[in-house]
Structure 1
Amino acid sequence: DGLLRTQGVQPIQLPVRSPNLNAHAERWIRTVREECLDRIIVLNERHLRWVLNQFVYYCNQRRPHRSLKLQVPDGPRVYCREGNVARRQVLGGLINDYYREAA
């Protein structure tokens, strides 16, 4: 809050349990829970941080988004059109990431 205030930004306090006031954050939390945390037994805080890091990386670097016409937000801009399709397991196989190997 201190950094924001020095820039002249006034944070708005939202009422507790008001999901309609912050729909993007609520949708992200729902996605993380449904696609990731509901399927994993988290052992401790360190494990939770690792799982969330892997999931966020997958969502931002590898997962296609409908709103971006099935493009990846931070992914590669050049795609290989030839070569065998290979699978990479993310989070111990919870998520399968498919990509093309170099021809």
Structure 2
Amino acid sequence: MERWVQSCRRELLDRCLLWNERHLRHALREYEEFYNEHRAHQALAQAAPLRAVPDPNTDPAAIVNPNVRRRDRLGGVLHEYSHAA
């Protein structure tokens, strides 16, 4: 739990100006979803807790020209990256 609090503080709370409790709760919900579904975790071989590790990409064309999309969350404080179809 201490690591989660440290990560939340370092990656979210130190970078945001929160206006009220409602805004804080919204930001924490967004961070929780980001943390569990998108953020890479070293202990899980760079996977997220609620997402399996993707299969390695062996297609030479996809390796040379990767098509990656970025989604900003919380006004750009958090970034999610994914392969575009």
Structures share a fold, TM > 0.5? yes
In structure 1, the residue matched to 2:70 is: 87
Answer with 1 or 2: which has the greater Rg.
1
Aligned amino acid, residue 74 of structure 2: L
Structure 2: state its 5+ residue gaps.
Answer: none
| Identity of matched residues, % | 37
TM-score by length of 2: 0.79
Decide which of 9, 14, 33 is 1:57's aligned counterpart: 33
TM-score by length of 1: 0.66
Q: CA deviation at 1:86?
A: 0.8
Q: CA deviation at 1:97?
A: 1.1
Alignment of 1:25-40 (within 5 A): 25-40=1-16
SS at match of 2:70: strand
Structure number with higher relative contact order (C-alpha < 8 Å, ≥ 6 residues apart): 2
Runs (4+) off by over 2 Å: 76-83
Answering whether residue 24 of structure 2 is matched by residue 48 of structure 1, we say yes
